[in-house]
């Protein structure tokens, strides 16, 4: 049986949110993203484990951990690895945990190399361009997918 834990994974350079290209990514910080995820998950009686890494292997290790812990789901913003990492794709497929891909910016309105995502092919949904609200929407969609109900 799956736990009530959602893993929220953020890839390279997302530790710089709030200062990195604010015209593209906004002024919210990674701490703001994590707090939003905690609040949203709590509304469904769920918990969140947040992890950010600039290293591909470390992200894969956390995906494996989510699988071993029978996590309820994964929300992942792979950053630049979205467009390059077959290894993260393979890890997501291997653990068989429902996953949603999130991007703060609309990657399809940006450089053409961002228009392809290996991660998207291993998730049941992708959200792009909603700013950090995409994380909230991802958790809500994941909750609906697994049948979790909002707490009143």
Does the annotation mark 25 as catalytic?
yes
Catalytic hit among 25, 44, 81, 135: 25
Give the bridge partners for 73, in sequence order. 6
Q: Which two tokens stand for residue 105?
A: 């910016």
Catalytic hit among 44, 51, 103, 135: 103
Q: Which residues contact 69 (CB under 8 A, 6 or more apart)?
A: 3, 5
CA–CA gap between residue 135 and residue 101 (Å, rounded): 9
Sheet harboring 47-52: ordered strands across?
47-52, 5-10, 73-77, 99-103, 125-128
Does the annotation mark 7 as catalytic?
no
Active site residues: 25, 103
């Amino acid at each position: 049986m799956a736990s009530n834990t959602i893993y929220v994974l953020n890839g390279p350079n997302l530790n710089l949110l709030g200062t990195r290209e604010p015209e593209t990514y906004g002024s919210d910080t990674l701490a703001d993203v994590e707090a939003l995820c905690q609040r949203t998950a709590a509304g469904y009686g769920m918990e969140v484990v947040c992890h950010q890494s600039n290293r591909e292997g470390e992200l894969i290790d956390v995906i494996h951990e989510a699988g071993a812990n029978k996590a309820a789901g994964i929300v992942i913003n792979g950053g630049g690895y979205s467009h390059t990492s077959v290894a993260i794709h393979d890890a997501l497929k291997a653990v068989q945990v429902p996953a949603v891909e999130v991007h703060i910016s609309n990657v399809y309105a940006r450089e053409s190399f961002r228009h392809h995502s290996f991660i998207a092919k291993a998730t049941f949904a992708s959200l792009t361009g909603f700013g950090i609200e995409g994380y909230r929407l991802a958790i809500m969609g994941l909750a609906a997918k697994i049948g979790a109900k909002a707490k009143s």
